Amino acid sequence: MNDYKDIFYYTGIFTWLGVTGWLIIRLFLRKKWIERIGAIFFFGPGLMHSMKKLYQEYPNNIRKDTLAEVSTYIIWRLTRIGFFALLLGLIPMMAIIIQTVLLDKQNMLIESQNLMFNKQNQKIDEQNTLLQEQTKLFGAQNDKIDIQTFLMGEQNDAISTEIGLMSLQNNLLDSQNYSLRLQNNLIEAERRGSLVILMNDVLNQVSKEIEEQKTQHPSIDSLYTLSPGLIGRIAGLTQIFLPYRYLENEKLTDNSVSPERGHLLLALSKLDLDSTTYQRIYKACNFTRLYLKGFDLDDVYLKGAFLNFSNLQGTYLSEANLEESALRKSNLQGATLVITNLKESDLTDADLAQANLYKADLSHASLNNSNLSRTNLINAELIEANLRKANLSSADISAANFTGADLNQAQLQSVYANNTYFLKSNLEGANLQYGYFGNSRFFDVSFSGVNLNDAKFNDTHFVLVDFQNAQHLTISQLLSAKTLYRSINIPADLEAQLRTEKPCLFTKDGC
C-alpha cells in the first residue's frame, strides 16, 4: 500500500513540475499570449489586476486597500491550489479503498487464525496480571525514588544558592584584599618618602666631602673620592629603599620597584667621582629593581652596577659605560643606548624592544632569551655575544658584527642585515625567515636546522658554510649570492644547477 502512495505522490509532483517548467520555457520564448494565459491560469485575473495596481502606486503612495486586495487574492489563490491538490490526492485514495476491500477478505481468513491465538492470549493475560502486580510494586518504589529525587533537587538548589552567596562573598573579599594591598602599598610609599630626608643627609655629606677636596686642591681639576664610611652609609641606604608597588596612572604598578634607589643612583652618577670610587659604590650598593623610566643618564659611569629587574624604559643611556653591569630581566624598551659600552654585561631575559643600540658595544654580553625585536643595531659590536633564543625579529642589524656570536635558535624573522658579519657564529636552529641579508658575510658557519624560508641573500658571501639540514633552501637564494667558496653539503640537484648556470659562485673571488 505504501508503494501505491509513493507512486501517486511523486506523479503529482512531477505533473506540477512539468506544467511549471512548460510555462517557464514558453515565457523565455517570449510568447506573449502564452505568458498571459499561463499567468492568468496560475495567478488568476484578480491577483494580476491587484498586483498591477500595487506596481503603479509604488513607490509614491501605496494605499492600504491595494495591499489588502493583494493579500486577499494571494490567500484565495493558495486556497484554490490546495483544492486542486486535494482532488489529485483522491486518486491514490480510490486505489487505497480498492486495496482495502481485498484486505477485508484476507482479514476474514486471519480471524479464524486469531481464534487459535485467543486461547494463547488468555494464558498470556494471566501472566500479564502477575506482571501488572509486579509493575505496581515497581511503581510504588519509583514514586518513593521520585520523592527522594525531588528532595535532592531542593537540596541542590539550596546548595547552588549558598555557592552563589559564597562567590559574592569571595568577590567582596577580593575587593577588600585589593583595597588593603593598595592601602598597604600607599602606606609603604609614604614611609619610604620619609626616608628621602635621610637620603638628603647622605647626599649633603657627599657634597661636603667633595667641597673639602676642592678646598684642599683648588688648582687641581680632578675627579673626587668618597670615604669608605660614607660609601657604607650609601650602601645601607640602598638596602633600606626596598622595592614596592605604587600608584601610576591611578593603578598599582605590576612589578615592585624602588624609585628612591633610582633617584639615589641618578644623583651619584652625575657627580665627578673617579672610577675607583664608583666601582666601590656599585660593589657595595644594591641598585636592583630601581625605577628610572625616561630619565637622562647619558655618559654616566655604571661599570659593574647591579641593576637587575629594573625599569629603564625610555631611559637615555647614550655613551654610558655599562660594562660588566647586571641587567637581567630589566625593562629597556625604547631606551637610547647609542655608542653605549655594554661589554660583558648580563642582559639575560631583558626587554630591549625598539631600543636604539646604534654602534653599541655588546661584545661578550649575555643576551640569552632577550627581546631585541625592532631594535636599531646598526654598526653594533656583538662579538662572541650569547644570543641563544634571542628575539631579533624586524631588527635592523646592518653592518653589525656577530663574529663568534651564539645565535642558536635565535629569531631573525624579517631582520634587515645589509653588510652584516656572521664570522664563526653559531646559527644552528636559528630562524632567518623573510630576512634580508644583502652583501652580508657568512664565514665558517653551520646552517644546520636554520629556517631560510623566503630569506633574501643578494650578493651575500657564503665561505666555508655548511648547508646540511638547512630548511627551505632554494636555488634562487643561492643564485643571488656573491660566492659559495668552499661551502659544503649543498643538495646535489641544486649544486649541479648552480655549477651549470653560475660556476663563478664556487671561486674565491665569486661572481
Residue length of the chain: 511
pLDDT at 291: 93
Task: Answer positive or negative: Cα dihedral of 316, 322, 326, 328.
Answer: positive
* Element spanning 53, H or E: helix 45-57
In this structure, are residues 502 and 479 in contact, taking their beta carbons and an 8 Å threshold?
Answer: yes
pLDDT per residue over 383-406, tens digit each? 999 999 999 999 999 999 999 999
pLDDT per residue over 473-495, tens digit each? 999 999 999 999 999 999 999 99
pLDDT at 145: 87
* Element spanning 478, H or E: helix 475-479
* Greatest distance between any 2 Cα atoms in the chain: 142
pLDDT per residue over 263-300, tens digit each? 999 999 998 899 999 999 999 999 999 999 999 999 99
pLDDT at 148: 87
Average pLDDT over residues 433-437: 95
The answer, yes or no, to whether the previous bond of 259 is cis (omega within 30 of 0) is: no
pLDDT per residue over 131-185, tens digit each? 888 888 888 888 888 888 888 888 888 888 888 788 888 877 776 766 666 565 5
Judge if pTM exceeds 0.75. no
pLDDT at 397: 95
- 317 confidence band (pLDDT: 50, 70, 90): very high
pLDDT at 27: 59
- 409 confidence band (pLDDT: 50, 70, 90): very high
Residue written as grid cell 645565535 = 407
